[in-house]
Structures are given as C-alpha cells and as structure tokens.
Chains A and B, each alone.
Chain A
Amino acid sequence: MIQDAALGFSQASQFSSLVATAIGVMFGLTVGMIPGMTISTGIIIVLPLTYTLDPNISIALLLGLYVAGMTGGSFTAILLNIPGTPSASATAIDGFPLKERGEAGRALGIAIVASFVGGIVSFGCLYLIAPQLADLALNFRAPDLFALVLFGLTIICSFAAKSLIKGLVSAALGLMIVTVGQDPMMGTARFTFDNVNLLSGVHFLTAMIGLFAIPELIKSICTPATLMPETQKKIGSFWSVFPRLADLKQILRPMLIGSPIGSFLGLLPGAGGPIAAFISYDYAKKSSKNPEEYGKGSIEGIAAPESANNAVTGGALIPMMTLGIPGDPVTAILIGALLVHGLAPGPLLFLERGDFAYGLIFSFFFANIFNLILALVGVRLLVKLLNTPRAFMMPTIGLLCVIGSYALRNSFFDIYVMLAFGVIGLIMRWVDMPVVPLLLALVLGKPLEEHLRVSLISSQGDYSIFLQSPFSVGFLSLAAFSVLWSLVVVPWRDRLRAKKLEGPTSQ
C-alpha cells in the first residue's frame, strides 16, 4: 500500500500531470463561473483531449476541472447573484449582499479559501477511507455486487424530486438502451436490427455528450442576448481577495462544520453539492454567535456552504473509485473517461493498478492546491472571461461535441447517435423528466445484468441466493429503504412543509 501510495504520489507530481491539473483548474474555474454551463458540460468539452493522453494526465486534467468547477460557481453567485453551478446557490445568500456592500474581493477570497479547506478535508477522507473500502469490497461476490448496483440505481429516486414516476421512466429508458448490442453473457445480438454499428452497443460517453451538452447548447443559443447577465467587475485591488487573519479565524468554525458534512454527503450517492451546501449553511447558522447576520453578508454564511460543496467532490470519488458506483453525473462521466483507457473503477482498481488509484487521489490533492493559488491570483482575470461572446463559445462547444463523439471510435454513426440523444435530452427537458436517472442507468445497467445473471447461473436459478450473504441483504435493505424514503417520507415531509407555510396565512 505504501509503495503504491509513493508511486501514485510520484505520478501525480510529475510535471506533465501538474500542468494538466493546472489547466483543468483554470478551465474548471471558467466553466463553473458561466451560468448555464455545468461541470458535466465542461468535462464533456475537454473529454476528446483525454482520449490520447496518458491516463494519469487525463485524470489529473478532469479532476482539476471537477474541483475548480465547484469554486468557479461561487464567483457569479457572489458577483451577479446567479449561481454558476447549483452547488453555489447557498453561497449567493451571503455572498451577494457582501458584494453589494462593496466587499466583493473579500467575499471571493473567503469562498476560495473555504473551498480549499473543504477539498483538503475530503482528500483526507478519500485517502483514508477509499483503500479500506476497496479491501472490504474485494470480498463481495456476484449477488452482493448485484445488490450494491441495485442500491446505486435507487439513488435515482433522489434525482426525481418533482416526479418519482418520471425519474423511474427515465431510468427504465436508460436500461433499455443498455441492452442494445451483444448480450454480456452469451454474445447474442440484441436489438441491433442487423446494424453492425449497434453490435458494440451505444457508447456511454456518446449518449452523455448528447444528453447534456446539446440541450444546454440549444438553450443557450435560444436565450436572447438581452437576457444574458451583465458582468459587474468591481472586485477591488489584487490584495483585496486575500483573506485577513481575523476573517480566517472567524470562518474556521463554519468550515469545520461544512467540510465533514460535505465529505459525508458526497459519499452518499445522489446527495450532491447543493444539499450539502444548504445543510452546512443551516448548521453553521444555528450554531453561530451571530445568526442574525446570516443573509446580510456574513462571511460565515459564505464559508460553510463553500467548504461543504467542495468537500463533496472528494466524498463522491470514494464510491466511484472503490465500488464503481457514481454519486453524481460528474463521477459518472469520470467512470466513462477511465473506461476509455481500459481502467474499470471498482475494488480491483486498488489491487491491480494501485499506483494509478493513488495517483488519482494525489492528483485530487494537487487540484485543490492549484485551485487555491490560481483562483486567488487569477480571479480578476477570470471574471473578465465572463464577457466572452457566446456567439464564439456556443458554436465551439457544438464542434467539440462532434469531435468528442467521433473520436471515441472513429465512427460517423456515433455522431448521429450523439445528436439523437441530444433530441431525447431536449424532449426530456420539455416534459420535465430528469436526465440523470437515464445517465446512471447507462452506467449501472450492464453490471446490474451481469451480476444478476452470474448470480442466477451459480445458484441454478435459485433467487434465494440474494438473501444468503449479509452484504447482499444489507444492500437490498438499503435499496428498499431508499425507495420507501422517496415514496413515503419525502411526500409526507413536503405536505407537512406546505401545511406549515399555509398555517400563518390562514390564521
């Protein structure tokens, strides 16, 4: 383990990896800042670059983007009151009022430092927990893995906040798409209609480029120029971004609240940055000596959610690396990016490619360091990028979508598939159907079928095999709990909230 860690550190600290991390961070800060552009879209844009790069360099670039995208989201939340990413929504509550008081630089500095602390705490969790969890997961057999993947799929419910049925329909659509191509056990061609291109199935990344990037591109093109936000660039002097010692002392407590909450919620598939940010904000406010200042430009109110949403990144990498279960769309794309290089995330990653696994962990560490330095030094320049005309940006994204889907397998067919998924994504937005369940089903569908059928072959068709292992029973119980929570507890809680809101007005 120590040898792997040392090798991983040396790989992550190579000049080429560090440069890739720094470029990823710069790009992530930019993408995170632009309202309407998600981190997922940012990763999709740089994805074609990673196809021919060394896996260590590719993952360093993508992790830099992931980490910095979270921080970049807070810039527009503070400057324009428009969160660049959903995770930065809570930051706007206090960030924007502080900016309105003429302290934009101070607010940005607090957000950057809090992001760094959250990221480093979650790096600690990743470094300590991931190898242990991978060791434990090595004991899992096919029925346990089936139950685990099924549990991973039930997180779909948490992404289907508006309509559980639509979330499930979206997931079922993803499972249908996964079955196109050769059957994983016997190689039987399924739903290929004698088309050779369909034999290897729909590539997961092609589908994702279409589902995420094309609808966002079209939405942006359709937004009239008059509705695009004007950028206010009054940040202050270069040094105004660097936090004062008194400020650092004041934000220590909220950061110590936000970082563990974010790391823990990142571990839970589906919880994600926005939830972590709001919970941390709430806890920090309740435990503050000056709760009345929250919402009026309190630096504590910026530090708590920012440390939490960046801590989510390290937490989310734990189930992705050790179990192959994505916790959010970004980690799902990272799984796809690793698969392109023939690296399958899961417990065997630590056993067979321990050096790479630790390299990934240390690249995450360096991404946080670069994020702190580049954001503090470059924020004044980065904000100017907000004024890049979208007439240049959007067509460039369109071309990158085409390059990204073609270069995967050098196939025109994949470009057509990408556009078809773009249309599916547009229709899903039109009917308010979440896209993330479909995406997760595309990642988890194949292992779900494989583990199910391997289990049933080993038990000669006896379904009780799923109730014979404590791991399997545990995961199945968690899956059942997850579904029941979404079916019973969430609607009940929403009704209760609605009643509470109605209460005062009716009296």
Chain B
Amino acid sequence: MSMPLKNVIISMIMLLIGSSYLYFSLQLPVRSIGNVPGPSFFPLVISAIVLFLAAALLVNGIVNLRNEQPQEAEPAVPKRVISTLVWFVLYLIALPYVGFLVASVPFFAGLMMLCEQKKLVPVAIGSILIPVFLYFLFRQGFNILLPAGQWM
C-alpha cells in the first residue's frame, strides 16, 4: 500500500475519532466559574485542532494519490505480527484466571517459537526458568505484586 493511500486512510480514521471526541466533549457538563472556561474548553480546542489536521492530511493524501507514480506492492502485514499480537491477547485473557507464573510459561514458549527457536529443549528450559526467575526476582526480591489468578 502506498504512503498517500495510507495517509488517506489514517486521516479518515482521525476524522472519525475527532468527530466522536467533539460529540462527547459537547456532552460534558457545563461547570464554570464566571467568565472562565470549564471542563469542556480544552477538549473542544483539541477537537478543532484534530479535525483541522485530519482534513489537511486527507487533502494532502488525495493530492499525492493523484500525482503518485506506480510503485511495487508492499508486502502485507507479516503473519508473525498477527501471531504475536494474538498470542499477547490470549496471554492477557488467561492472566486474571491463572496468574503470572502459570500463564507466562506457555506465553514465553510461544514467543520463543515465533523467534525461530525450533529445538524443544531450549524452549522448555527457557520458558520455565525465566518466568520463574522473574517471578521470584520481583515478588520476593523487590516485593512487587504480580498478577494473581482467580483459579490458582
């Protein structure tokens, strides 16, 4: 995907975000002391700025899109980006139920495999030893609370 097209897409997303932000800013309660700005003042200023900048980016993107030279197609989002994000999301879902120590072992193993570590022995050793080490370092060494699970 070319950069001008990306600019058009992102500017439209920003227009949507800016409009929603403006709508919710207008819903804020009007509480002000005399002639001075209330809680909605700053958000309204920002809304105006965001909408103006998004519109400018959109115009800029459209103009560049017209003058654009044909380019080689950019590779699609690598599968590994999606896999890593999905793995992160699954980890975060599991975390409140099984806690840091249990959830981190498969998470660590999965990321190691995504880093092209194909030998199972290093994966098994790394994914157990490092989360356990971090758990004891932070929980016992530094007395920092780590996510605890409801089930465990």
B146 touches A225 (CB 8 A): no
B37 to chain A, nearest CB (A): 6
For chain A, which range describes its interface: under 10, 10 to 19, 20 to 34, or 35 or more residues?
35 or more
- B35 adjacent to chain A (CB < 8 Å): yes
Q: A399-B131, A403-B134, A430-B6 are in contact. Are A415 and B46 (CB under 8 A)?
A: no
Q: List residues of A (273-300) whose CB comes within 8 Å of B's CBs.
A: none
A186 touches B96 (CB 8 A): no
Q: List residues of B (1-36) whose CB comes within 8 Å of A's CBs.
A: 3, 6-7, 9-10, 14, 17, 21, 24, 28-29, 31, 33-36
A190 touches B84 (CB 8 A): no
Q: List residues of A (421-458) whose CB comes within 8 Å of B's CBs.
A: 422-423, 426-427, 430-433, 449, 452-453, 456-457
- A15 adjacent to chain B (CB < 8 Å): no
Across the interface, B57 reaches (CB within 8 A) one of A166, A188, A396, A422, namely: A166
- A179 adjacent to chain B (CB < 8 Å): yes
Residue from A188, A392, A457 with most neighbouring chain B CB atoms (10 Å): A392
B80 touches A453 (CB 8 A): no
A419 touches B88 (CB 8 A): yes
B50: A residues at CB distance < 8 A: 169, 172-173, 176
Among A49-57, A131-139, A260-268, A315-323, the stretch that binds chain B is A49-57
B31: A residues at CB distance < 8 A: 186, 188
B144 touches A52 (CB 8 A): yes
Q: List residues of A (315-345) whose CB comes within 8 Å of B's CBs.
A: none
A398 touches B80 (CB 8 A): no
- A127 adjacent to chain B (CB < 8 Å): no
B101 to chain A, nearest CB (A): 11
Q: A165-B53, A169-B53, A398-B88 are in contact. Are A391 and B112 (CB under 8 A)?
A: yes
A391 touches B122 (CB 8 A): yes
- A374 adjacent to chain B (CB < 8 Å): no
A403 touches B46 (CB 8 A): no
- A175 adjacent to chain B (CB < 8 Å): yes
- A410 adjacent to chain B (CB < 8 Å): yes
Q: List residues of B (119-138) whose CB comes within 8 Å of A's CBs.
A: 122-123, 126-127, 130-131, 134, 138
Q: A399-B108, A412-B95 are in contact. Are A172 and B46 (CB under 8 A)?
A: yes
A186 touches B38 (CB 8 A): yes
B112 touches A403 (CB 8 A): no
B46 touches A179 (CB 8 A): yes
A403 touches B117 (CB 8 A): no
- A103 adjacent to chain B (CB < 8 Å): no
A275 to B10, alpha carbons, bound, how many Å? Answer: 30
Interface on B for A, CB 8 Å cutoff? 3, 6-7, 9-10, 14, 17, 21, 24, 28-29, 31, 33-39, 41-43, 46, 49-50, 53-54, 56-57, 60, 77-78, 80-81, 84-85, 88-89, 91-92, 95-96, 100, 104, 107-108, 111-112, 114-117, 122-123, 126-127, 130-131, 134, 138, 142-147
Interface on A for B, CB 8 Å cutoff? 48-49, 51-53, 165-166, 168-169, 172-173, 175-176, 179, 183, 185-186, 188, 190-191, 214, 217-218, 221-222, 224-225, 389-392, 394-396, 398-400, 402-403, 406-407, 410, 412, 415-416, 419, 422-423, 426-427, 430-433, 449, 452-453, 456-457, 460-461
New contact pairs (7) apart from A169-B50, A395-B115, A461-B36, CB-CB < 8 Å: A169-B14, A169-B54, A173-B50, A221-B114, A400-B134, A415-B95, A461-B37
